[in-house]
Amino acid sequence: MIEDKDEDENKEMGYLEKSKLPYSLLLDPKTGRAAAYTSTHRLIAPLASPALVAFAQAHTSHSMPWDESKRDPSNKWRPLPDWVSDDVRARCVLIWIERGSAAPDAYWRSIPAK
């Protein structure tokens, strides 16, 4: 089994595998709660793990306050999790995790899944 794990770690990650990893977080800076989204803005973790939040904060490529005017009313594009009430939404920040086509697969594998 250990050999299989080593083999997986040495296998090149494909685009599809990378696209399923967290790409951005909607963060409530007051509480530290966050929701995680893929690069296609699909919600993959309504409540991101502390490890993912810490990773994203340490590897932020850019951030911006939540802009309600850009919200998708159908809630298909970056849907809000249940814990995001109106007052919470007003203080939320979107943060994007540092990535790049040249990033080594070891970096991609270090991104917590949720």
Q: What does each of the 114 residues of the chain score in pLDDT, given as a tens digit?
A: 444 444 455 678 788 888 888 899 999 999 999 999 998 889 999 999 999 999 999 999 999 999 877 777 777 778 899 999 989 999 999 999 988 667 788 878 888 888
In a domain, 59, yes or no: yes
- Predicted local distance difference test score (pLDDT) of residue 2: 46
Predicted TM-score of the model (pTM): 0.82
Distance CA 38, CA 43 (A): 7
Tell me, what's the pLDDT at 57? 95
**Which pLDDT score, from 0 to 100, does residue 35 have?**
96
Q: What is the pLDDT, as a whole number, of residue 51? A: 96
In a domain, 31, yes or no: yes
In a domain, 3, yes or no: no
In a domain, 11, yes or no: no
Q: What residue type is 106 in one-letter code?
A: A
Q: According to the model, what pLDDT value does residue 76 have?
A: 75
Number of folded domains in the chain? Answer: 1
Coil, strand or helix: which one is 44? strand
**Residues of the domain holding 60:** 23-70+77-107
Query: Looking at this protein, which amino acid is placed at residue 10?
Result: N
**How far apart (Å, rounded) are the C-alpha atoms in residues 88 and 67?**
13
pLDDT at 1: 44
| Residue 40 domain-assigned (yes or no) | yes
52 in a structural domain:
yes
Instruction: Determine, yes or no, domain membership for 114.
Output: no
